[in-house]
Amino acid sequence: MTTPFGRRIVALANRRELGAYVVFELADCTEPVPGQFYMVAAVEEWGGGEDGRPFLPRAVSVLYARGGLVGFLLEDVGPGTHRLCALRPGEEVFLAGPFGRGFVPPGDGRAPLLVGGGVGIPPLAFYQERFGGEALLGFRDAHHAQAAALLSEAAIATDDGSTGHHGYVTDLLEQALADRADELVVYACGPPAMLQAVQRAVASSDATSQLALEAPMACGFGACFGCVVETTDGYKRVCVEGPVFDGAVLV
C-alpha cells in the first residue's frame, strides 16, 4: 500500500516486557510487509534535556501488524531507545513509514530458513507469521533468549550456553547448510558480525540468502544518504533499496 505522506502522531496502545526487551504496540492501520521498518520518535522528552539537541528518530523493524496495531521489539541500549522503552500506554509518538524493501518469499521449491540475532529477530517473526519457516535464533544469554517465544519452535543458541546450543547461531546454520543447502533460502537479520558470518556460510554452499541490514538513519526515505552500503552494483541506500538485500550482492 502507499506509505502515508509525512509523519503522524499515534498513541502507544500496549506495552510489555519480554526478557531484556520491550514489546510495544502502536495504533496504526498501515499494512507493512516483513522486513520493512518505521521511523519512531517520542512526542515528549525526545532530546538531551532543555539545552540538548533533539534525538534523531529511530528506525525500528516491524514485529507484526494486525487488527490496527503495529508491534515492535526494542532493547534499552542508548538514550533514544531508553526513552522509547519508557513509554507507557496512552503516550504519543511520531511515526513515519512503512519504509524500505521487505523479504521476498522463496521460489524454485525452496524452503525459508530464518536466522536471527538479538533485537534483529522482529522481521523474521513477522515473516514466519505470514509465510512460515524454520527459525534459528542467537542471543547473549537466557534472559535475552526469552524473546524466542515470539517465533514458533525456534532452535536457540546463546553465547554463554545458559540455554540451547552453547555458541553462535551460525553454528546451527552451518549444520543446516551441510544437510540441505540446495533446498534453502536463508533469511537473516541481526548484528553486522552475524550477518557477515551468514553471508560467508551461504556463499560457500548451494543456498541463497536475503539479509535485512541495520544501519544508522536520519530520515528513512533516502534523502540524507547516511545509510549507504557497498554492493556489486555500487552504493545503495539501506532505507530505500534495502533494508533487505540479496546476500550475494553485498560487498
Domains and CATH numbers, the chain: 8-99 (2.40.30.10), 111-214 (3.40.50.80)
**Per-residue model confidence (pLDDT) at position 1:** 45
**Per-residue model confidence (pLDDT) at position 200:** 96
Give every strand in the sheet of 58-61, ordered side by side.
58-61, 37-42, 92-99, 8-18, 21-27, 69-75, 64-66
Mean pLDDT in consecutive groups of 10 residues from the start of the chain, 251 residues: 71 97 95 96 87 86 96 95 96 96 92 96 98 97 98 97 97 96 96 96 96 88 90 94 95 90
**Per-residue model confidence (pLDDT) at position 22:** 98
User: Shortest CA distance to 137 belongs to which of 111, 99, 103, 176?
Assistant: 176
Cell of 45: 522528552
